[in-house]
Copies of this chain bind each other. A is one copy, B any other.
Amino acid sequence: MKYFTNACPARGAGLILPRVKKSGRIIIPRKTIYRLSIYLRCLARLKENGLDTVSSEALAKAAGVKPTQLRKDLACFGTFGTRGLGYDVTELSSRIADELGTSRLQPVILVGVGNLGLALLSYRGFEKEGFEIIAAFDANPRRPRNKQIAQPILGMDVMPKFIAEHGVKMAILSVPAPSAQEVANHLVDCGVAGILNFAPIVLTVPEDVMANNVNLAIELENLSYFIRD
């Protein structure tokens, strides 16, 4: 079992406790969660190739990390390996999937049907990972010509009702920057707890809401910095 120095230093100076959430689960660092997602995809490919077991060394190499890091990551929520042999591919997959909570299908909505939003709508890569964009919303909900879009494109006015009826907890935000914060507030009011934000601004959201940012210009800028030597 992994232990952390507890973030609250007040009680019992020097006392070491496992760090836990209010819900009782042990906190797993965000970086570890990202890597678990990567491990899961590597395991899927290994399984396709007919492998039954895999060592931490092989899996780590496939995921682009060090073997010890992989093992430490797994140690956050259990011990699944067999010493001398490695991990059972199928079992490890399902344990990680359980931990990530990707076992059930999550409904997602998309807000902002511009260039990028439209591309994301027709992107078929989410479903096999456990997510489904079930509807899109736009202030000006025109159905694009010459496009095979399976999802309905609805007006912003019906969004609250839709979110409540379908139990939507996550949204992809691909509106222009100037309206992003306003729309995000609206989403939060409707009960959305996770926002994947493509607008190039810093969203301000309540503490119990999570906003992940994907900013393509910043990614390019980052690359450009590190390649000039």
User: Of all chain B residues, which has the CB nearest A130?
Assistant: B221
Confirm or deny: A123 has a beta carbon within 8 angstroms of a beta carbon on chain B. Answer: yes
Would A62 and B202 count as touching, CB distance under 8 A?
A: yes
Q: Which 8 A-B pairs have the closest CB atoms?
A: A119-B119, A194-B223, A129-B217, A193-B227, A194-B227, A37-B218, A64-B202, A37-B221
Besides A42-B202, A101-B224, 11 new A-B residue pairs in contact (Cβ under 8 A), listed by A number: A30-B226, A33-B221, A34-B218, A37-B217, A37-B222, A41-B218, A129-B221, A145-B146, A196-B219, A196-B223, A209-B227
What is the total number of copies of this protein in its complex? 2
A201 to chain B, nearest CB (A): 7
User: Of all chain B residues, which has the CB nearest A116?
Assistant: B119
Would A129 and B204 count as touching, CB distance under 8 A?
A: no
Interface size bracket, A side: 35 or more
- Tell me the complex Cα distance, A130–B216, Å: 12
Residues from chain B with a CB closer than 8 A to the CB of A106 are 220, 224
- Tell me the complex Cα distance, A63–B196, Å: 17
Would B224 and A219 count as touching, CB distance under 8 A?
A: no
A107 to chain B, nearest CB (A): 11
Would A41 and B225 count as touching, CB distance under 8 A?
A: no
Confirm or deny: A92 has a beta carbon within 8 angstroms of a beta carbon on chain B. Answer: no
Question: Which of chain A's residues 201-219 have a Cβ closer than 8 Å to chain B?
Answer: 201-202, 204, 208-210, 212, 214-219
**A residues whose Cβ falls under 8 Å from a Cβ of B:** 21-23, 30, 33-34, 37-38, 41-42, 45, 62-64, 100-102, 106, 108, 115-116, 118-120, 122-123, 125-126, 129-131, 145-146, 169-170, 172, 193-196, 200-202, 204, 208-210, 212, 214-229
A149 to chain B, nearest CB (A): 11
